[in-house]
A and B are shown apart, each in its own frame.
Chain A
Amino acid sequence: MGLKTKNILLALLMAGALLAGFLCCLLLPDREFSQSERRKLASMPELSAENLLSGAFAEDFETYVQDQFPLREGFRGLKALTETYALGKLDNNGLYLAEGHLSKLDYPLNEKMLDHAAERFRYLYDTYLAGKDMNIYLAVIPDKNVFLAGPSGRLSYDYEALVSAVREKADYMEYIDLLSVLSLEDYYRTDSHWRQERLLPVAERLAGAMGVELPQAEYKENSLGTPFYGVYSGQSALPVSPDTLVYLTCDAMDGCTVTGYGSGKAEALPMYDMDKGQGRDPYELFLSGAQPVIIIENPKAETGRELIIFRDSYASSLAPLLAGAYAKITLVDIRYVQSAALDRFVDFGAQDVLFLYSSTLLNNSLALR
């Protein structure tokens, strides 16, 4: 090939690539939602004189093009592969792959966030719990970074330091250690959460510490049936094999009723929501995902004891395993309901109270209201 031909080919192909991109941008329909990133995508900004003159249109247009760019998923994957494998970066946008697990850096230890969480806990204690005949417990769920980040050379904080700081600030609670009953294998490879089928030792540890006994039940492992691509799978854009989502059932759970207050009014919910299992976040199968208040009632319970769990999403898969030991479990997520409004949903009396939070949430507690 002569130099002239080569230059013509080069100019035409490179300009053609830009032109093809332009035509695809123009002709392909816009998408509303990114399933892999689990977020709404930007739409074409409003064209108005005000927007144009302020420069807002230009800024929003760039975001729109980024979100709607043709083959967006492929380009995100190309970048993730380049960063991870070609350049040897230890994380890509804070996400990393180690020992077959995807995870997200949670660093450094944020004292202000711990203070905020402790302040919210103190408010709940002072407002609803103090002076009542209640046993109050605290359990910190180690995020999977605790098992993965340090050993794989990623930035990590001292989990024990986090626990010590929270315990010190919440000295009115009795601490239950969970670290010793968990390991990396107890977490999904592509998601932040723990796997329900591996949580019986955790449930036993909690029940034992709170002085209740879990019924001797034979749990049946049920598989969701469709591949489970966890939250980190889409965010990282790396090609990883999916997890299998397994949920446990037993006779003790059969008679339980679940009531949620997601819409503000009482609403019957399934323990395992199969529709949500096929939805955007299959982990929402457990107790239907984000809900401000959920009540699990167990008419077959051998005692009349009740439990209130102040919690984050990790408790959704754990609470069904505790249902056999309590007549009523109330799960409260103060990310979705103001702490000050809780007495509209919960009668605080003589229950056991468990503050069950993941280390990630405590270190990023701004959402606690």
Chain B
Amino acid sequence: MLFSSLSFLYYFLPCVLILYFLAPKKWKNSVLLLSSLFFYAWGEPKYVLLMLLAILCGYLFALLIARYRGRRLSRLFLLLSVSISAAILGFFKYADFFIQNFNAVTGLSIPLLKIALPIGISFYTFQLISYTVDVYRGVPAQRSFIDLAAYISLFPQLIAGPIVRYSQIAEQLSSRRHSWDKAALGIRRFTLGLGKKVLIANAMGQLCEIFRASQDKSVLFFWLYAIANMLHIYFDFSGYSDMAIGLGKLFGFDFPENFNYPYISRSVTEFWRRWHISLGSWFRDYVYIPMGGNRVSKPRWLLNILVVWLLTGFWHGAAWNFLVWGLFFAVFLILEKLWLLRRLEKAPVLGRVYVLFTVMLSFIIFSAENMGQALSSLGSLFGAGGLPLLSAEFLYYLKSYALLLLIGVIGATPLPKVLLQRLGGSPGGEKLRNLLELPALLLILALSTAYLVDGSFNPFLYFRF
């Protein structure tokens, strides 16, 4: 089920809210667990069992790790637990990729498994890995299977993150505070996220689809696509994260932030501190630092960066373009760490242009169906392929989407937030802001509903994650 669907907004969510707030405290996690399983099973019932099995493994191994803490067995159980989670992810997500490439290299024709990728598998396996590792590192293991299963399968963050670590919400699982203030904060955040997804991201996604289907491409149309693609991915992903964080607050949880205006970064290093923060920090804490981080020899340090970013790319999808996407960032991050970062710090405007340009190119690789298409699109941005500079369709869609593009560009910066804060700085302004907030939120909900009722373009980007 998608947050940006009528069945979620007007059937699932009201039912869950009623059940959750009517349930006594000790039943709340059970309500969340059952709701989350229903949420997951809605579109893909068969994989609920796989998720429950993975959770059961994590639950049992964590208990064993805790029981044998300080002994070699504890490490063995950790290894087994991580291996099982990685094997589940590897089998369901990467098996066909490896078979395909093995066939290509050897000339064999081993049949593909053609397994449909279970939605959210990359998120919940990473959470399970972090849970058992955290327990190994000293965090107390969760004794209640229901509480652990509720955490792993928690529907607000199940299919598109953020990757919430067990240590971040362990206490909240057993004891969390519900308040009107927190609920209002959650609803506000959820509604803004819904608007970002339905009103901006979907429109940008539609522009990208129009471009892909066009027979009237031109160099500037490629640029328009590249910009729309950047906005699509950002508003889709950050909108989803906003909705997840908002829903979390409604149910009393505090999820970590996942995006912090990444497009205003002055370096790629900074960009990755602001983009999909929960994934970046996961790789830092569970891969990069255990490999030695930067406290090793320079060649080993560079290798560590390379490995982490290849894995980061590969996490996003089982295809070469995702690996190349990760490698692309590894190259820039290494360049920055070796000499570019200090220079960029002295030229913030140039830094921002450099980040936007680099990220724009990277998302063309990210969104391509294969590397051939990615290279061809990159070339076309710079006039390769004999394309004309302008085309009728480019001009038409530029005019048609101009205002939305402008809203997207401004919305991707902290400017609206700063303006609202300034407005709230004076007593009159604060009154006005308070007065307008509720109508504005209701308008966003009504508009999002209207777009969903009309059956507007509403893609789900995370089916390859």
Q: What residues make up the interface of A, taking CB atoms closer than 8 Å to B?
A: 1, 3-4, 6-11, 13-15, 17-19, 21-22, 25, 52-53, 55, 58-59, 61-62, 65-66, 69, 72, 75-76, 78-80, 82, 87-91, 93, 108, 153-155, 237
Contact = CB atoms under 8 A, between A and B. Distances in A.
Among the interface residues A3, A9, A10, A22, which one has the most CB atoms of the partner chain B within 10 A?
A10
Interface string B1-39: 100011101110111011000000000000000000000
B43 A58 contact: yes
Nearest to B5: A62
Interface stretch (B67-75, B126-134, B355-363, B448-456): B448-456
Given A7-B181, A82-B450, A155-B393, A25 B187 contact: no
Interface residues of B, number: 52
A89 B400 contact: yes
A17 B434 contact: no
A52 B45 contact: yes
A208 to B, nearest CB: 37
Contacts of A53: 45-46
Contacts of B216: 108
A7 B6 contact: no
Interface string B154-175: 0000000000000000000000
A363 B183 CA distance: 54
A231 to B, nearest CB: 17
Where chain A touches its partner, the secondary structure class is: helix
B450 A79 contact: yes
B215 interface: yes
B399 interface: yes
A345 to B, nearest CB: 39
B296 interface: no
A14 B187 CA distance: 7
Given A11-B184, A62-B5, A91 B454 contact: no
Contacts of A79: 447, 450-451, 453-454, 456
Interface of B: 1, 5-7, 9-11, 13-15, 17-18, 42-46, 180-181, 183-185, 187-188, 191, 215-216, 392-393, 396, 399-404, 434, 437-438, 441-442, 445-447, 449-456
Contacts of A58: 1, 7, 42-43
Contacts of A93: 454
Closest 3 CB pairs of A and B: A7-B184, A79-B450, A22-B14
Contacts of A69: 6, 10, 449, 453
B10 A22 contact: yes
Given A17-B442, A108-B216, A65 B11 contact: yes
Contacts of A17: 442, 445
Where chain B touches its partner, the secondary structure class is: helix
Contacts of B1: 58
A333 to B, nearest CB: 30
A8 B184 contact: yes
B449 A65 contact: no
A18 B442 CA distance: 10
Contacts of B6: 62, 65-66, 69
Contacts of A4: 180-181
Given A62-B5, A62-B7, A75 B403 contact: no
Contacts of B403: 87-88
A32 to B, nearest CB: 18
A78 B450 contact: yes
Among the interface residues A3, A53, A59, A69, which one has the most CB atoms of the partner chain B within 10 A?
A69
A82 B200 CA distance: 13
Given A17-B442, A65-B11, A88-B400, 15 more contacts: A6-B437, A14-B445, A15-B183, A19-B14, A22-B15, A62-B5, A69-B453, A72-B453, A87-B404, A89-B400, A91-B400, A108-B215, A153-B399, A155-B392, A237-B454
Nearest to A24: B10
B447 A78 contact: yes
Given A55-B45, A90-B399, A155-B392, A11 B187 contact: yes
Given A10-B187, A55-B45, A154-B396, A66 B11 contact: no
A154 B187 CA distance: 40
A76 B454 contact: yes
A10 B188 contact: yes
Nearest to A57: B42
Contacts of B215: 108
A53 B456 CA distance: 26
A240 B456 CA distance: 22
Contacts of B452: 66
A243 B454 CA distance: 25
A135 B145 CA distance: 84
A4 B11 CA distance: 28
